[in-house]
């Protein structure tokens, strides 16, 4: 039987799928290092094709940290090829933090290919921090070089991107400009010296693009009206879904539809928030490939969009909203978008910060928007707390958060939403970081008119991805049957704690 101090786990990572032998080479070097020190590798944590600039998406590293911090790790040492394989974190302190967590749990981290021993000495500490900074700098330098290369490729008239867009397809040419083959969705070019351009797609899609320009320029229709016209005839966009204004705007404003190669319209570095770049900063090569519309037609569309995007006064927006209320008897995003005389929802969001503030200004309150949701959450929370305590459980509650800790082990958060929004949009948008990392989310579906709870959804933390939205839609509800309950009896029974004499 192996002694605990002789048991080791290895963590290996490669950043791209092109590094075919990277994982294998790391494992061979780690195996040799372990053999020389009498260690036996009992666990392997592998992140293949994962960037090292952060921990997001690196499930193996996250699993390793969970095992170490939970005290369930059956090894005393973690073997990593070098500092850069542990990560190219842009903040060197983050890299040190994860290593410290391991050390604090009694598990050492050793770098097999480095020229220093990770023994906590002054020399090793200095060298390790230098290596961390160098690893981060390598990522920044590589990002700069890749961006420059992509800009150069776009300026030469090549397409730089993944999805070509509606009515366009990717086509591969060689370094001499000779045609090779068309690419399907998900395909990649096989030869690095080849380049990609855009070509017209199916004739029926090209026809739809021309029709969109005609409706805007000749018929003076708004983007909402164009999308409604296409949807009424069952025409789907490139994603196989109904048309929305942003997809129409993309066709009318992206120069690629006029034959220009365009790059760097947006910028996002190291998983930061994406930002729109000024038009003067775009990389544009006109006449790079065959356009679906002429340059003149594209310019006409730009002018028409500028005329359409006139600035509404607050009085005009509120008058339009009041008129719609009188005609329809209710207001929501769907009624606003579907009304040909009303400005779009985005206009209200830009002017008032949302449609609800605009509702308040005209005195309109939706059935479920009269402050009912916060009170409903409080009522449910009080019921959960009272019932669990009756059954012998303990409750720790944060006054400023609709969340409780049950029996010092289970974090439960409470939300409520109307069961059937008239606009047909998602019932709930939940961002996990806005909650205090609950283990279980109790979502109450409430009748919009009677304020009665229709059912409860018990959603585990695993379904709340890190830093992402969870949207509960009608379609998703059908797939969540195992999480849907008419009562909270199951939750109460799970949290019940019986006295010792009852158990005996």
List the pLDDT tens digit at each of the 504 positions of the chain: 567 788 999 999 987 655 555 888 899 999 999 999 999 999 999 988 788 788 888 889 999 999 998 888 889 999 999 998 888 888 888 889 899 999 999 999 999 988 888 888 888 888 888 888 888 888 778 777 888 888 888 888 888 877 888 999 988 888 888 888 888 877 777 777 788 888 999 999 999 999 999 999 888 888 888 988 898 899 998 888 888 888 898 999 999 999 988 888 787 776 667 778 887 888 888 888 888 999 999 999 988 888 776 678 888 889 989 998 888 888 877 778 777 677 877 778 778 877 878 888 888 876 544 556 667 777 888 888 888 888 888 888 765 567 888 888 888 888 776 665 444 444 455 544 445 567 888 888 877 666 678 888 888 876 655 544 456 666 677 777 888 898 988 888 888 876 434 444
Domain ranges of the chain: 4-140, 168-308, 314-361, 372-500
Q: 428 forms bridges with which residues in the sheet?
A: 472
Helix (H) or strand (E) holding 428: strand 428-431
3-state class of 26 per DSSP? helix
Q: 415 forms bridges with which residues in the sheet?
A: 443
Cα(164)–Cα(427) distance, rounded to whole angstroms?
32
CA 35: distance to chain centroid? 42
Cα(282)–Cα(272) distance, rounded to whole angstroms?
19
CA distances from 95 to 75, 90, 294, 343, 372 (A): 21, 9, 52, 49, 45
Kindly write down the DSSP assignment for every residue of 7-19, as one continuous string. Answer: EEEEEEE-SSTT-
Residue 52 phi, psi (nearest 5): -100, 10
**What does CATH list as the number for 168-308?**
3.90.1750.20
Cα(456)–Cα(448) distance, rounded to whole angstroms?
15
3-state class of 195 per DSSP? strand
**What does CATH list as the number for 4-140?**
3.40.50.1390
Would you say the pTM of this structure is higher than 0.75?
A: no
Fold (CATH) for 372-500: Trna Endonuclease; Chain: A, domain 1 (3.40.1350)
pLDDT of residue 18: 52
SS (H, E, C) 217-280: HCCCCCHHHHHHHHHHCCCCCCCCCCCCHHHHHHHHHCHHHHCCEEECCEECCCCCCCEECCHH
Scanning the structure block, which residue is given the tokens 């209200």? 348
List, for residues 164-183, the tens digit of each pLDDT value.
889 999 888 888 888 888 88
Please state, rounded to an integer, the average pLDDT across all residues of the chain: 81
pLDDT of residue 208: 95
CA distances from 45 to 4, 27, 319, 434 (A): 18, 11, 61, 30
pLDDT of residue 230: 92
Decide: residue 436, CB within 10 A, 0-12 exposed, 13-18 middle, 19+ buried.
Answer: middle
Cα(398)–Cα(310) distance, rounded to whole angstroms?
47
pLDDT of residue 209: 94
């Amino acid at each position: 039987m192996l002694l605990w101090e002789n048991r080791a786990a290895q963590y290996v990572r490669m950043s791209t799928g092109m590094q075919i032998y990277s994982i294998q080479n790391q494992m061979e070097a780690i195996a040799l290092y372990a053999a020389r020190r009498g260690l036996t590798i009992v666990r392997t944590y592998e992140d293949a094709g994962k960037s090292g600039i952060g921990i997001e998406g690196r499930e193996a590293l996250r699993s390793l940290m969970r095992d170490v911090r939970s005290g369930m790790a059956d090894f005393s040492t973690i073997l990593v090829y070098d500092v850069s394989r542990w990560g190219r974190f842009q903040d060197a302190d983050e890299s040190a933090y994860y290593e410290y967590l391991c050390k604090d749990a009694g598990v050492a981290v050793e770098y097999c290919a480095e020229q220093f021993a990770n023994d906590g000495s002054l020399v090793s500490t200095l060298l390790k921090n230098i290596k961390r900074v160098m690893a981060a700098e390598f990522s920044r330098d590589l990002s700069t070089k890749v961006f420059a290369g992509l800009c150069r490729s776009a300026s030469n008239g090549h397409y730089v991107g993944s999805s070509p867009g509606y009515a366009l397809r990717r086509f591969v040419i060689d370094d001499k400009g000779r045609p090779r083959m068309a690419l399907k969705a998900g395909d990649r070019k096989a030869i690095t010296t080849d380049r990609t351009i855009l070509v017209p797609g199916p004739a029926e899609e090209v026809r739809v693009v021309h029709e969109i320009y005609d409706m805007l320029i000749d018929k003076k229709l708004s983007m909402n009206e164009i999308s409604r016209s296409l949807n009424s005839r069952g025409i789907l966009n490139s994603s196989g879904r109904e048309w929305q204004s942003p997809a129409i705007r993309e066709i009318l404003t992206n120069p690629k539809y006029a034959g220009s190669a365009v790059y760097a319209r947006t910028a996002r570095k190291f998983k930061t928030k994406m930002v729109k770049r000024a038009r003067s900063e775009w990389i544009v090569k006109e006449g790079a490939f065959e356009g679906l519309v002429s340059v003149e037609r594209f310019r006409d569309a730009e002018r028409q969009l500028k005329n359409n995007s006139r600035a509404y006064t607050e009085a005009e927006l509120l008058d339009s909203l009041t008129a719609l209320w009188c005609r329809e008897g209710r207001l929501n995003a769907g009624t606003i978008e579907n009304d040909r005389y009303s400005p779009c929802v985005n206009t209200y969001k830009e002017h008032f910060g949302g449609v609800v503030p605009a509702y308040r200004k005209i005195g309109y309150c939706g059935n479920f928007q009269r402050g009912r949701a916060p009170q409903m959450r409080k009522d449910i929370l009080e019921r959960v707390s009272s019932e669990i305590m009756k059954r012998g459980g303990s409750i720790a509650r944060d006054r400023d958060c609709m969340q409780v800790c049950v029996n010092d082990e289970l974090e439960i958060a409470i939300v409520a939403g109307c069961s059937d929004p008239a606009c047909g949009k998602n019932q709930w948008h939940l961002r996990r970081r806005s909650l205090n990392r609950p283990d279980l989310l109790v979502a109450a579906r409430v009748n919009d008119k009677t304020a009665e709870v229709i059912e409860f959804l018990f959603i585990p933390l695993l379904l709340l991805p890190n830093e992402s939205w969870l949207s509960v839609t009608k379609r998703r509800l059908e797939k969540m049957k195992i999480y849907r309950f008419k009562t909270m009896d199951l939750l109460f029974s799970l949290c019940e704690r019986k006295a010792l004499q009852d158990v005996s």
